[in-house]
Structure 1
């Protein structure tokens, strides 16, 4: 609603600090409005230095029912446009097959005495009683959502996203904020000192592949905590993420094979590269026997109904067998009777047996090949197909909790490993073989960088020291073995860990303390006998 008599000249670019009211001059309504704007502008500047629009201060938890898509948003307080604003509890249904952003709509409206009678002057007994006064600016915050491919729930107001939901799964969101300046300083220090790392959890597992052609692959990321570019992200529960199955396809043309059938005259053809994406063509050599009618004159050329004829095996009419290159010849896929030999009578029929190339439909197609029938034994079979090349992909997470897949470069036998972009923490790499029977062709290696606790560092330090000691002993042993036989005879290295290297037939007289050989100590053992007799150390009076 537009107010005709409302004036506000506040302009932050003029850098006015405050209004200076002078005696004897009239008070302007614009000056009162500007005074409010001065205070609100300063308050907003302080708030924006600490919070961001959409930061959750208290409450406002989001609960999702993954079966029905019902979302329950609790009441709470959210920072918006320079102030902490209250938002009431809300419930609605969201789509589960797309990306949804849940947030609040910020709406402003003007209220006058026409909408609220209580805005009239309540001072009884004054000249201004029940007269109109200032209007009010009302701010409303309402829960809502925006989804890809769907029109917004509200057509008015500004939308501030708070939660991201992918396929019905709530993605990690920030905890109630701290002072941004302090947080930024700590994040910069952590990033420069330690980089990005996993504190605990966040293991990735392959769950399943969706049914149907082109079904997505679903992965599970366990709950855990990590620091990405110095900022802490935490998944309070496991989440599911899905990615398209989009292998890189390579074409193979005229791959040769030899037809070697089984007892049912069927060959199980296995291609060189698999898994197969699509078989384009199978070209084989077949042998046919058909009846042809000779031309109407001697020396005529009789066409053969098939193309790509390789050779003529036999031409026979009754008991007469005609000889190749004497009676006839194969000419451009036709029977040429122009040679000076025997020839069937014009208009008569004869039988011809020949071999030609033809395309057949493969049977029982699998990821490794197909079945082929009808070809000539030991003949050439050519197959055109496409196959899925292996590839390494990465799964990463950024400082906002968004999970991404980074595709590598596919190669027939040596795919390259991609690198995680700046600002993203590597969780695992996926070896995409696309083969069935190998957990749907997915091999996962969790190789994220983990923070090492101090107790593990101390154990590692102790292990390194032990390793140095073992290496030193090995060097002594090698040095002894490398000497001349006359000088090293009877020489060996004893680490003094136990008695396995000493002569068990000789009494142990060496003084070994803490795995070290030391000089012997002359001692006298006194048996106290339960205190019945007093013993004194040697002394002189």
Structure 2
């Protein structure tokens, strides 16, 4: 059995023209199909790219469990839109991983599918094999796993357990490119925030890294839409640029402990100071007459006094200071050899400062009136900018430091500015400036226009009043400009014969009503009642609402968290072994552990695993309801049909606020089996709201396996697999 298909796009053939007098060839039918598929794929490839999301097919990653929940949907691959079913994919939470579709292409014959035998009973070919079929099956998988057959096409990128955002269609197709170019031209760059994307600043972590949170939202970067469905924390290891200051002078004020402010700050490293101090020392007179005695401090500035008992020696008649020594070479008096005399002197001490802060330090016991010099390094201020690219990746652009007035750095093309960080290097003065470009709704712009009109009107009236009061204040005393909003500026002592209405002065006309006769008797002209409109017959009637489905709509309920996933401690025994064929030669990358997990999922019997001791975790669940009547109290709350205590932050049964919003929390009851449960909250006025809560536990099961292969020795072993309840 041979299949002929000779189509080659280089030949330029676009159709097959059949002749009535010639035999129809199977090759011609195959070529015709290939021509049509080639023409359709060239058109489709101009609009879509491999891996483009057509419908659904979203990815939700749980870094705690290492499982990616892949939604069912449609994806464009290899010239066709393929449907893919939902699946769970195990993804490592470290590094960059790619989750996509393995596209398996097989040929199905009548042997594989009996439905391909000829069903016609009229001809000689009854129950004969017909044409084969080409089947394509798309399955979710992790790049490089090699567990699934077929060619791999990446769809989602996961970095360190976080799914990178992506748009539904490729940014390279003509439609998207045209929209992107229009967005860039109409907005002056195409970089702006549509919704959310606000930035919050937190305290630094224990390692000194700066922590920022970018809220969920949507933005356009270079005309490309970027959607971030969840908040993201940005950890920035900011390092300051420092400058050294040498010998900064400060005058001493007294000799007590005093606080000094650095001229430049903040100072983040220990500083040193050169300070002049006083000291008293007992010195032993040397054996050489007129010689010198050493003092025990370097950098001696001056000797204040020398005494021996009741004798006082004076400078320069008796001694002088030479190289940090008491020099007795002058011809005056001096102590006898071996006598101890008292020297009071001043010297320069180099030492660390006391009680240093980023802006001040303290110094103790300096000589009054002297100057001490401090050496330090201070961190220079700068502006850093938090930005996001068209792939939703956050980064920080480091600015140029300056001593006093730093300048924010420019934002390069392809980056959206989210916030500017003023780095003062002190937690209390560092600030975050939310200076991102944001889309302004048309209603807001219209409100701005109305406000400007009101301001211009008020300004015109103010100018009129100022002009009148300025030009005629002396000539026409008592005259002023009346804006004619009300009667407050009119002379209440005079009778007013006009009225102010709608901002204008109008003549007043008095209207009065007068009763006829006694005011009790009614009068009318004579009349006869005649039929003007009559409905003499009718067909039938029906109820407007036959289902009697009346009542108010249910309230919207948001649970925090709505899903609780955890791993059950320990490993349990699975009593049933598995068998599989292990052949890594023909399937590169195949592993025993992966094969055991795959075979287990095919043959798993949940009745063999005892899960009677596994229940939902008793955690607190926050609840926010929207849609209750204003101030309506909560009457009851149930979880899976069991009553629960629904309390607010003060531990009381909550009531709705003026907008009908109720906030509170409850604890998951004890002894509830895992799965999806219903939460229902009812109010005193009949309002109610319902939501689903899902609890999912992962079990570690140990099982025995037996494998065989073509070119390897068969073997047995024990492996641990995952089972999600």
TM-score bracket, normalised by the shorter chain, equals 0.7 to 0.9
Q: Is it true that 1:312 corresponds to 2:303 in the alignment?
A: yes
Residue 320 to residue 192, structure 1, CA distance change in 2 (3 Å): same
Tell me, yes or no, if the aligned pair for 2:70 and 2:140 is still in contact at 8 Å.
Answer: no
Alpha-carbon deviations, 1:352-402, whole Å to 9, x = none? Answer: 332221222334332233343354344433222222333333223333322
Aligned partner of residue 466 in structure 2, secondary structure: helix
SS class of match (1:277) = coil
Seen in structure 2, the aligned counterparts of structure 1 residues 318 and 505 have a Cα distance that, compared at 3 Å, is: closer
Please name the residue that 1:422 is paired with.
Answer: 413
Segment of structure 1 superposing worse, 343-352 or 483-492: 343-352
Equivalent in the alignment of 1:190: 183
Pairing 1:55–2:52 present: yes
Cα distance, 1:53 vs structure 2: 4.0
The residue that corresponds to 1:434 in the other structure is 425
For the structure 1 residues 282 and 19, does the alpha-carbon distance in structure 2 shift closer, same or farther, using more than 3 Å as the test?
Answer: farther
Instruction: Give distance in 2, aligned partners of 1:350 and 1:153.
Output: 90
* Preserved CA contact (<8 Å) 1:71 1:94: no
1:485–1:292 distance in 2 versus 1, CA, 3 Å: closer
Where do residues 369-380 of structure 1 align in structure 2 (5 Å cutoff)?
369-380=360-371
Deviation, 1:34, is 11
1:393 and 2:377 aligned: no
CA drift of 1:346 comes to 5.0
Aligned-pair distance for 1:93? 5.3
2:274 corresponding residue in structure 1: 283
Preserved contact between residue 87 and residue 140 of structure 2 (Cα < 8 Å) = no
Q: What is the DSSP-based 3-state SS (H/G/I as helix, E as strand, rest coil) of the residue aligned with 2:463?
A: helix
Partner of 2:691: none
1:129-168 matches, cutoff 5 A: 143-144=141-142, 160=154, 162-165=156-159
- Name the structure 1 match of 2:452: 464
The yes-or-no answer on 1:300 pairing with 2:288 is no
Picking from 324, 343, 346, the partner of 1:355 is 346
**Normalized against structure 1, the TM-score is what?**
0.74
Q: Distance in 1 between matches of 2:195 and 2:353?
A: 51
* CA shift in 2, pair 1:168/1:110, >3 Å: closer
Structure 1 contact 78–87 (Cα < 8 Å) conserved: no
1:203 aligns with 2:201: no
Alpha-carbon offset, residue 494 of structure 1: 1.0
- Correspondence for 1:5: none
| 1:500 CA drift (Å) | 0.4
Aligned to 1:510: 498
Name the counterpart of 2:214. Answer: 220
**8 Å Cα contact 2:96-2:158 kept in structure 1:** yes
Q: Quick check: 1:101–1:161 contact (8 Å CA) kept in 2?
A: no
* Shift, 1:201, TM fit: 2.1
1:455 aligns with 2:443: yes
Moved more, 498-507 or 421-430: 421-430
8 Å Cα contact 1:279/1:384 also seen in 2:
no
Shift of 1:59: 4.2
In the alignment, what sits opposite 1:245? 238
Q: Is the 8 A contact 1:275 1:367 kept in 2?
A: yes
SS at match of 2:385: strand
Partner of 2:529: none
524 and 41 in structure 1: CA distance in 2 versus 1, 3 angstrom threshold: closer
For the Cα contact (< 8 Å) 2:171–2:177, is it kept in 1? no
Q: CA deviation at 1:492?
A: 1.1
Task: Report how far residue 499 of structure 1 moved.
Answer: 0.6
Counterparts of 1:68 and 1:325 in 2: how far apart (Å)? 87
Deviates most, 394-403 or 523-532: 523-532
1:44 to 1:307, Cα distance in 2 relative to 1, 3 A = farther
Farther off after superposition, 474-483 or 301-310: 301-310
Work out whether residues 432 and 442 of structure 1, in 8 Å CA contact, stay in contact via their aligned partners in 2.
yes
* Per-residue Cα deviation, 1:259-314 (whole angstroms, up to 9, x for no partner): 4578xx53334323333211242222232333444444333344434322211223
Find the aligned partners of 1:249 and 1:510 in 2 and give their Cα distance.
76
Question: In 2, distance between residues paired with 1:407 and 1:291?
Answer: 59
Per-residue deviation, 1:493: 0.8
Residue 89 of structure 2 contacts residue 140 of structure 2 at CA under 8 Å; is this kept in 1?
no
Aligned residues: 501
Q: 1:169, 1:240 within 8 Å by CA — same for their partners in 2? A: no
Distance 2:139 2:460 in 1: 73
Cα distance change, pair 88–225 in 1 and its aligned pair in 2 (3 A): closer
The counterpart of 1:103, out of the listed 95, 99, 104, is 99
- Please report the RMSD computed on the Cα atoms of aligned residues, expressed in angstroms: 4.9
The question of whether the paired residues in 2 share the 8 Å contact of 1:55 and 1:162 is answered with no
Q: Matches of 2:15 and 2:473 in 1, distance apart?
A: 105
- Give CA-to-partner distance per residue, 1:465-499, whole Å, 9 cap, x none: 22222222122212212225453323211111111
Please give the alpha-carbon distance, in whole angstroms, between the structure 2 residues aligned to 1:326 and 1:159.
100
**Structure 1 residues not aligned, in runs of 5+:** 1-7, 22-26, 112-116, 124-133, 146-151, 536-541
1:316-327 superposed matches below 5 A: 316-327=307-318
Quick one: distance in 2 between partners of 1:70 and 1:229?
33
**CA positional deviation for 1:343:** 3.3
- The equivalent residue for 1:498 is 486
In structure 2, what is the Cα distance between the partners aligned to 1:94 and 1:138?
A: 28
The more displaced of 53-62 and 462-471 is 53-62
How far did 1:92 drift? Answer: 3.2
Which residue in the other structure is 1:479 paired with? 467
Distance 1:242 1:69, change over 3 A: farther
Distance in 2, Cα, partners of 1:336 & 1:33: 118
Q: In the aligned structure 2, how far is the partner of 1:75 from the partner of 1:141?
A: 10
1:412 aligns with 2:406: no
Helix, strand or coil: the match of 1:384? strand
Cα pair 1:54 1:161 within 8 Å, conserved: yes
In structure 2, C-alpha distance between the alignment counterparts of 1:10 and 1:327, rounded to whole Å: 120
